[in-house]
Structure 1
Amino acid sequence: MSTETLSPVEDRPRVNTGAPFAALLRPAEPAHIIHSDAEAIAIARRLAGEFATESSLRDREGYLPIAEVNAYSQSGLWGITVPKAYGGAGVSYATLAEVIRILAEGDSSIAQITQNHLALVAHIELDGTEAQKKELFGLVLQGTRFGNAFSEKGSKNVAAFETKLQLEGDHAVVNGQKFYTTGALLAHIVPIVAVDDQGKGWLAFADRAAPGLTVVNDWSAFGQRTTASGSIRIENVKVPLNRLVPVAAFDRPTAAGPISQIIQAAIDAGIAAAAIAETVAFVRTRSRPWIDSGKEAASEDPFTVSAVGELVIRLHAAEALLERAGRAIDRALAEPSEDNVTVATLVTSEAKVLTTEIAIAATNKLFELSGTRSTLQEHNLDRHWRNARTHTLHDPVRWKYFHVGNYHLNGVTPPRHPWN
């Protein structure tokens, strides 16, 4: 037996402990406020570089990215879609997609933790009262993070909610169970989707430390490990009436669905970009040329060169559709006509298809082109494939093909919901 002294295990909170996780303190200082699209992209690039440094370590060891998420929300990036009228930058959704893509290239789990927060900011704009917008947007700009208590693992389908809300005096009482609660573990406020006695849907913005709200650290997926997207128990949680926002954005033409979807697509594009960068670096520095190529370096193998070229072209096509989708969402927000919302939905669906396909292709090709040594645990390159395979399951792209085809062939507009 070796007499080498073992270093102590680093004392950081980890994912998938199976235990309830206490609420984090709110930020002591207000977050930075970003004022332009260019500033948002510049800050995203800086943070992505910082997040990339230990992204493999966090994935391997299961460390919760608490310090990283604090830095992320304090940077102001969580408030960039707050409208200018309420003090935010009101950036283009093309800019938001690029910000999320950049961050996901650095660490896709951290980028995903923002997903529901950003979608909720849009819902507040679409469905909130003026007083709610002023209050909740003000909290966001100060650095408050929204989590998510939306999906339910055991219901009939993703839109069948069994979490109940009852009005009692000046507050609502909410009961239920949730899963896939990305962002809730490290949030300050957890918006809960619940239905009242009439079947009407509500977003109940509960304090993360509210009595009866238990966020359990039990996310065990093989990919996107440090999103901590586990479960929530909701037992007689009281929420003030002024923190109830109706879920009404899908009852009329709005960009709510495309907004949710473009963030998902941007994460997948970031995963693909990270995988391609890893492939290029590995082939250049560690891979050997195949014996039949007659080349001195793996980077000169003609089949490898062509394969990398194909991946880059497909990534650029996906990124172009992301930008196009963002511009279409901007138009749908400015003028929410049936036609504009339909275009935004369809173009975002196209972007989702291409980003899904390049994320899966790039993370597969990483190993094919880099060779057997790329599978060694010391490199942890499989995290890119695990992340891509897990995250692209968020909603099935086979239905994106159908809705796009059904519109162009039969004139049928796609349905409106958060997965479309």
Structure 2
Amino acid sequence: MSQTDAGWGAGPGVRYEALAADFRPVFGRIAAGAVSRDRERRLPHDEIGWLKESGFTTLRLARGQGGFGASLPELFALLIELSQADPNVTNALRAHFGFTEDALCAASPEWRERWIGRIADRQTVGSGVSETGEAKVGQFDTVLRREGGQWRLDGRKFYTTGSLFADWIHLSAQDEAGEAVVAAVPVRAPGVEIVDDWDGFGQALTASGTARFTGVVLGPDLVKPDPARFPYAMAFFQLVHLATLAGIGRAAALDLARLVSERTRIYSHGNAGRSGDDPQVLGVVGRVRGAAYAAGATVLKAAEAVQRVHDAHLAGPGEAAEAAAAIADLEVNQAVTVVTDLVLDATTILFDALGASAVKGGLGLDRHWRNARTIASHNPRIYRDRIVGDFAVNGTQPPRQYRVGSA
């Protein structure tokens, strides 16, 4: 069934349905096991493997490069659909899709072509950026030191989302002089240890735990010549979270509608002989679905702004690209609180349309709120409204980078 026929609105562009048709059978297989995986804490190794086999991880590469030539709005529309199936899988691939953008925008032709080739070969990349510890804001305890013609990596990362499923880790560190350095680390290199110790109550299957690096030797070809990230990195990574939330909203809406339609028990003080005919119950169902619809529409509108940055950057870095990047950051910031509130509210009130049996673990309805609440806790939304307000009143541009560390 197309998005239009399902009532979620047309996808971005006339070819979207043909593009999505290649992946919807895989999304269906992923969705079929989502509740049991969550209950059993079973990591989605197979599910990510299915996506790699289908070519999903190559979406943004041009067809001539071995991909599908998907636009950014098409990518985000597909991430909403994948998140409807299982938001853990989307989050586990977030770093990979970000690294893909980084490769496509890389200033070094050698770096760009090398990594486009590896992505075309269905190799994937996980995250090795964030740390917990005493490092100051903007600095890292993880260090890459030059040793002869090689580099030696030592350190520890946390929130290494997706790395346990990947072939490479996209790593941010500093060199012996304290300068920023970016590298790609083979997951199976000697001295690399990835531990699944993420114990969050949501997004529990993303392997967002610890990675340790002890004397890992890297060749110079694995250190990025320019550590700068692609110009729309902040907007892109946050928008992946918003697409994930929109997909969670859709899954919650569909689960709720199905359970109401199946419900045979009623309350004596209700409004109909069948729950599916009770106007108050139907009102809750409609409110949840409307929230999911609005969240998805907002994500796709913001994705258009991110696409404009990409296009401006390829036309030539300069003032136009910088201005487009600032507006994209603004649009995504404007969307954060709205989308978050819509989905958190929807995943809470859905229980109002059901009975006490809806809280039974076998249904897995609680996972929608747990996953949404966990996603919403990344890059705290409390700062977003202030940033937007400062732009509206004072013309202040949104910050171009976010960093975490000790004060």
Q: Same fold (TM over 0.5)?
A: yes
Aligned length: 382
Is 1:194 the counterpart of 2:178? The answer is no
Match of 1:65 among 21, 38, 44: 44
Give the Cα separation in 2 of the matches to 1:249 and 1:68. 29
Shift of residue 189, structure 1, vs aligned partner: 1.1
Give the Cα separation in 2 of the matches to 1:308 and 1:333. 38
Q: Indicate conservation of the 8 Å contact 1:151/1:158, yes or no.
A: no
Matches within 5 A, 1:384-395: 384-395=368-379
Is 1:347 the counterpart of 2:331? The answer is yes
Is 1:220 the counterpart of 2:204? The answer is no
Shift of residue 85, structure 1, vs aligned partner: 6.6
| Compared CA separation, residues 84 and 198, structure 1 to 2 (3 A) | farther
* 2:380 counterpart SS class: coil
How many percent identity over aligned positions? 29
* CA RMSD in angstroms, aligned pairs only: 2.1
* 1:211 counterpart SS class: coil
Residue matched to 2:304: 327
| Compared CA separation, residues 335 and 74, structure 1 to 2 (3 A) | same
Residue matched to 1:175: 154
Shift of residue 107, structure 1, vs aligned partner: 0.8
Give the Cα separation in 2 of the matches to 1:384 and 1:235. 38
* 1:172 counterpart SS class: strand
Matches within 5 A, 1:225-374: 225-245=204-224, 246-249=226-229, 254-286=231-263, 288-336=265-313, 337-374=321-358
Range moving further from structure 2, 393-402 or 108-117: 393-402
Matches within 5 A, 1:87-98: 87-98=66-77
Shift of residue 156, structure 1, vs aligned partner: 5.3
Amino acid at match of 2:227: V
Give the Cα separation in 2 of the matches to 1:160 and 1:356. 30
Give the Cα separation in 1 of the matches to 2:264 and 2:391. 46
Residue matched to 1:19: none
Q: Indicate conservation of the 8 Å contact 1:218/1:231, yes or no.
A: yes
Shift of residue 214, structure 1, vs aligned partner: 0.5
| Compared CA separation, residues 327 and 47, structure 1 to 2 (3 A) | same
Residue matched to 1:51: 30
Deviations 1:156-180 (A, max 9, x none): 5774422111122322111110111
Give the Cα separation in 1 of the matches to 2:273 and 2:177. 71
Amino acid at match of 1:119: G
Give the Cα separation in 1 of the matches to 2:295 and 2:70. 21
Q: Indicate conservation of the 8 Å contact 2:249/2:289, yes or no.
A: no
TM-score by length of 2: 0.88
Deviations 1:23-73 (A, max 9, x none): xxxxxxxxxxxxx75554223322211101111111111112111111111
Residue matched to 2:184: 205
Range moving further from structure 2, 121-130 or 149-158: 149-158
Amino acid at match of 2:249: A
* 2:398 counterpart SS class: coil
Q: Indicate conservation of the 8 Å contact 1:264/1:352, yes or no.
A: no
Q: Indicate conservation of the 8 Å contact 1:215/1:232, yes or no.
A: yes
| Compared CA separation, residues 360 and 55, structure 1 to 2 (3 A) | same
Give the Cα separation in 1 of the matches to 2:388 and 2:23. 32
Amino acid at match of 1:269: A
Q: Indicate conservation of the 8 Å contact 2:285/2:350, yes or no.
A: no
